[in-house]
Structures are given as structure tokens and as C-alpha cells.
Amino acid sequence: MSIEPVDPAFSTQRLSYQVPGLAETELADTPLAQFRHWYDDALAHPEVSEPNAMALATVDPHGAPTVRTVLLKHAERLGFVFFTNYGSRKGLELTANPLAALDLVWMPLHRQVTVRGVVERVDERATAEYFRSRPWGSRIGAWASRQSRVAASRADFVDRWRDFSEQWPDTGQAEDVPVPPNWGGFLVRPVEIEFWQGQPSRMHDRLVFLPAAADPQDVRITADAGLPLLDDASGWQIVRREP
């Protein structure tokens, strides 16, 4: 397909990443330890405003992809956790096809972490624990938003928020707003985790943790692919991908 002449506003934008590379000998023994190390660096960097912001990619029943930014709320030995309305587009797509990809990008550090894996819902206890930690207004918003549905107007949404705020006023207590019945967490259990470090001349470093039994040339993202714990060094192999 023929396209218009390349626009220099895009084509001339480039940055040479003059930062130290990432060698196999520098990686932590486990993907969880390596992730926490890089995440701590992002937390400490003054130019990284939201270190837990991550792109979440899903597919619909017809195989069409969707991507959006969500917030990582937990990283532990089983995987990566975020929360949402189960009736939202992402909630419905993950319920129908429980596979996902994540991408955390920390541009001031010229780093990103990408994850592909299988998805499970977290239990009600973990959902309630996180929900009660949210600010009161965000808890009300979880009730007011019919996430991803077409809105008649912003005023309609604002009116709903006001109605719920009157039903459950802010008392300063974690339990003053109940958990919505169609709201909760998803756990992404990785089948691969890639640590990407930008380098000059597009010679980027890409080191990937894969299950020890996986074929590095043909990584299958399925529920029965073998899902080692992220803090188990014996469950993983490390491969380098070309940039």
C-alpha cells in the first residue's frame, strides 16, 4: 500500500541511549528479584512520574487486539496484579480469553519490562483488601462507572457518582464503601518476562526469563505451559534476543 511522504515530525525523532548495557551476569537469579530491582530504580528516579503504569494488551473473541494503560498494584511470586471492572472491555476479554501482555516503560532510564502470560481472577479477600486501601472518591467511582459502555453524557456519569457518594458518605473508614460485586483483580502469571535496556545504534539488550522447559524459539502462551514461581531460580532459563 502506498503511503504519503514520510513526515519529518516523526521520522527525525530519535534518541541514542547512552547508558550502561545489561549483561547476563548482571541479572538477578529470579525474574521477581530483577523486576523489583528495576522497579526500585524507577521509583527513585525523579523523572519517572508513574512507575507502576503499564500497557495491558488483550484480544477479543475475534482475535482483534486492544491495548490500554492500567496501574500495577502488586508484584509477587505468582505474577502481576491489577484491578478493574469485570464488565469493562478488558474484563470481558480476559474472561473470554485469559491471555494478556504487559509493558512497563521507564523512558528516563531507557528501560522496559514486557510480560506475556495467562490470567486468573484474584480471590475476594485480596480484592477487598486492595479496594479498602483506595481513596474514598475512587471507591465511589468504581460504583459509578459502567466502564467501557457508551455514555449518554459526562453529566450522567457525574450524577451517578453524586448519588453513590450520598449513599455511602466519606466517614474516614476503609469499610464505608462496599466492594462492587462486578469489580476485582486479575493476576497475570508470566510465561515470559523480558528486560529491555536501550543501547546506542539500536543494539539494545533484551534478556528474557522463560520457563526452564520452554522452547526458546517457540514459546507457547497457554495455561498448561508450565508456570514456575517468579522467585524460583530453578524454574527459569535466560535467553538473549536480538534487538
- Provide the annotated active-site residues: 202
Query: What are the two backbone dihedrals, phi and then psi, of residue 144, each rounded to the nearest 5 degrees?
Result: -75, -30
Rounded-to-integer distance, Cα 113 and Cα 198, Å: 12
Location of C-alpha cell 508456570: 227
With vertex at residue 151, the alpha carbon angle to CA 164 and CA 91, rounded to the nearest 5 degrees, is 80
Contact in structure between 194 and 110 (CB atoms under 8 Å)? no
Tell me how far apart the alpha carbons of residues 110 and 57 are, in angstroms, rounded to a whole number. 21
Please tell me what DSSP assigns to residue 150: P
Closest CA to 80 of 38, 120, 124, 34: 120
Let me know: does 240 contact 216? Beta carbons within 8 Å: no
Exposure of 179 in the CB half-sphere (CA atoms within 13 A):
20
Tell how strand 74-76 and strand 236-241 pair up.
unpaired
Query: Mind spelling out the 3-state secondary structure of 118-149?
Result: EEEECCHHHHHHHHHHCCHHHHHHHHHCCCCC
